[in-house]
Amino acid sequence: MHPITTVHYLALSVALLAIGTIGVLTRRNIVIILMSIELILNAVNINLVAFSRHFNSVDGQVFAIFVITVAVAEAAVGLGILIALFRNKETVQADEIEILKW
Amino acid sequence: MLDTVFFYFFALLTVGGGVLTITRRNAIHSAVSLIVSLIGVAGLFLLQQAEFLFAVQIVLYVGGIMVLFLFVIMLVNLDESARVRQFNKQWWLALACVAAVTGELLFFVSKGTGGFRLAETTAAAAGKVGNTERIADVLFSQYLLPFELASVLLLAAVIGSVFVARKKV
């Protein structure tokens, strides 16, 4: 078997990014759209940690910590908005919320 | 050898969990699949000797964010949304765009493959100080300002989400 190189991690990261993007763009349920955003951010983290190991420096891991911080803030605000939205509109389908649509 | 086996195992967990997350009808099933995917990512961090991030991933993502998601899923009534159409009308356009971008990324990654041999971690760098200590050294010297700003961001996010989700009186 081939030894695992940074390329393997990059390919995995691309795959996870694609899965997350497909989820964001095609699903209607807002909860699952938020979950897909978490998948995208995790793909970024895999990339950062792979390059951190590649260059033998911890800067990439520090960046990954910041990415996780932003992901937490994003999840908290997003879910708060979702609860407010459900209270007002009684729906969680993204394409049924169209007040701003002309 | 063992590294290779574990890499493919965790990669399978990550990608399989991700695919299940975006295809399940029931949001709870999606959440559980996402947990599997996040644990796979945590395993990949451990394989790359990022032990601190492994712990952060388990505690924060699997323990924190996922509990938040499950709470919201219980709070919001999703029974009705499980019965209706799951994908929007532009899904074919979305798939085409994602396929284009993915092909592009894979092309450029494969073009640069020659420069990507995995760096051998020197025994001096890996042996003497632990991963957590190295991260702390960099985080609290070079990245001190972003670190403090992150706390402001978290405070703003917490206050904002409580304010947005509060009940009107």
Instruction: Give CA–CA dist B143/B165, Å, rounded.
Output: 33
Question: Taking 50 as the threshold, does the pLDDT of residue B123 lie above it?
Answer: no
Instruction: Give CA–CA dist A51/A34, Å, rounded.
Output: 26
pLDDT: which is higher, A3 or B4: B4
Cβ of A92 within 8 Å of Cβ of B78? The answer is: yes
Q: What is the DSSP letter of B114?
A: G
Cβ of B154 within 8 Å of Cβ of A9? The answer is: no
For residue B117, the one-letter residue type is R
Closest partner residue to A29 (CB to CB) among B53, B75, B81 is B81
**Please, are residues B53 and B38 in contact by the beta-carbon 8 Å criterion?**
no
Instruction: Give CA–CA dist B27/B69, Å, rounded.
Output: 10
Task: Specify the DSSP element, H or E, that contains B98.
Answer: helix B91-111
Question: Taking 80 as the threshold, does the pLDDT of residue A102 lie above it?
Answer: no
CA dihedral B59, A77, B71, B151 (to 10 degrees): 30
Cβ of A61 within 8 Å of Cβ of B73? The answer is: no
Which chain B residues are closer than 8 Å to A5 by Cβ? 116-118
Instruction: Give CA–CA dist B164/B161, Å, rounded.
Output: 5
Give alpha helix (H) positions in chain A.
6-26, 30-54, 59-89
Closest residue in B to A55 (Cα) is B119
B51 class by beta-carbon count within 10 Å (0-12 exposed, 13-18 middle, 19+ buried): middle
CATH code: domain B1-81 is 1.20.120.1200
Q: What are phi and psi of A92, to 5 degrees?
A: -120, 15
- The mean pLDDT of chain B is 87
- Average confidence (pLDDT) over B105-124: 69
- pTM score of the predicted model: 0.89
> What pLDDT score was predicted for residue B115?
66
Cβ of B88 within 8 Å of Cβ of A94? The answer is: yes
Residue B132 near chain A (CB below 8 Å): no
Instruction: For residue B42, give Cα distances in angstroms to A24, B21, B70, B73.
Output: 22, 17, 20, 24
Cβ of A5 within 8 Å of Cβ of B117? The answer is: yes
Q: Which domains, ranges and CATH numbers included, belong to chain A?
A: 6-94 (1.10.287.3510)
> What pLDDT score was predicted for residue B54?
94
Instruction: Give CA–CA dist A2/B70, Å, rounded.
Output: 40
**C-alpha closest to that of B44 among B15, B7, B1, B5:** B7
- Average confidence (pLDDT) over B67-85: 84
Question: Model ipTM?
Answer: 0.91
Closest partner residue to B88 (CB to CB) among A9, A74, A95 is A95
Q: Is B112 helix (H, G, I), strand (E, B) or coil?
A: coil
Q: Is B158 helix (H, G, I), strand (E, B) or coil?
A: helix
Domains of chain B, by residue range, sit at 1-81, 129-169
Sign of the four-CA dihedral A41, B162, B56, B63 = negative
Closest partner residue to A46 (CB to CB) among B44, B84, B165 is B44
**Residue of B25, B83, B118, B149 to mutate, testing the A interface (most A Cβ within 10 Å of its Cβ):** B118
> What pLDDT score was predicted for residue B86?
80
